[in-house]
Amino acid sequence: MGLQINKYSANGNDFIILENSNLSREEIIQITHRNFGIGADGLLVISSTDKCDFKINMFNCDGSTANMCSNGVRSCLHFFHHHIVDSKTGEYKFELAGKIYQGLVDSDISTLILDESNTSFEIVTDLPFKHEFRSCGFVNTGVEHLCLEVEDIENLKVNSLGSYYRHHEFFQNGTNVNFFQLKNDQVFIRTFERGVEAETLSCGSGILATAVFLNSKEEKSLREFKSKGGDSIVRYSDLGYEYEGKVHHVFSGEYLL
């Protein structure tokens, strides 16, 4: 059976985007496998809905469902804008995990907006290991994120440390783990992602969670983030948080299941 697929990359995260598909967990694992399939951090399915412009169903590469992946969302916005609407600039509303979000697209720049209507921004700082880091917080931006401020981001053993805190007994459902360091008003960040179970080049929801955590300590209208996958910006205003960065359409084609 031939499956029409679209490969996207956003800030180093790569995704497979499909339209109106209903795949099994085994098929998702097969397609996203980096040796035996196409390879991707996640698989995203776009479908129609009466509530807004489109709906996203999101899956990790282990076949599990996800409630939010900001780079994946920005890729879907880019796909919908350029391949379905085919417009120069656009503003859209979409449904994900039962919530309605808003996004903007301008050429290759795609932006996700989080506000109090879809995100609680609840922050927990009283963590059992808080004295081990310069600062730390647990934030839910649609998916759980632990944000840990470290002194040497470059030489950090992200996979071993990330795996430890990802499975820490404090977190009932596990968590994504973001390590960050502040350098000259820029935020350098590395993330161990739940579902991928390894460090990825970038994690959009982790960047947003870290921006939320940092703003709880010192409010800023703009923060620049640097990850292995590239640079991005988080803007903050009374309207909420805007996560902005470039998106790349890598290729489209047919995959034989």
| Six token digits for residue 137 | 């917080």
Q: What is the pLDDT of residues 134-178, one digit of tens each?
A: 999 999 887 899 999 999 999 999 999 999 999 999 999 899 999
Domain 2-111+247-256: CATH architecture, name and number where available? Roll (3.10)
Catalytic (active site) residue 69: yes
Burial annotation 47-68 (CB, 10 A radius, 16+ → b, else e): eeeeeebbbbbbbbbebeebeb
**Domains of the chain by residue range:** 2-111+247-256, 123-243
Scanning the structure block, which residue is given the tokens 């995203």? Answer: 44
Annotated catalytic residue within 61, 69, 136, 147:
69
pTM tops 0.75, yes or no: yes
pLDDT at 86: 72
pLDDT at 88: 67
Question: Residue 9 pLDDT > 90, yes or no?
Answer: yes
Share of the chain above pLDDT 90, in %: 86
Catalytic (active site) residue 147: no
The CATH homologous superfamily for domain 123-243 is Diaminopimelate Epimerase; Chain A, domain 1 (3.10.310.10)
Between CA 250 and CA 96 the distance in angstroms is: 24
Entry field: residues in the chain: 257
Question: Residue 228 pLDDT > 90, yes or no?
Answer: yes
Between CA 163 and CA 168 the distance in angstroms is: 9
Same topology, domains 2-111+247-256 and 123-243? Answer is yes
Annotated catalytic residue within 61, 136, 147, 203:
203
Measuring CA to CA, which residue among 222, 214, 223, 218 is closest to residue 186?
Answer: 223
181 CB neighbour count, 10 Å cutoff: 19
Any residues with CB less than 8 A from the CB of 190 and at least 6 apart, and which? 153, 156, 158, 178, 179, 180, 199, 227, 228
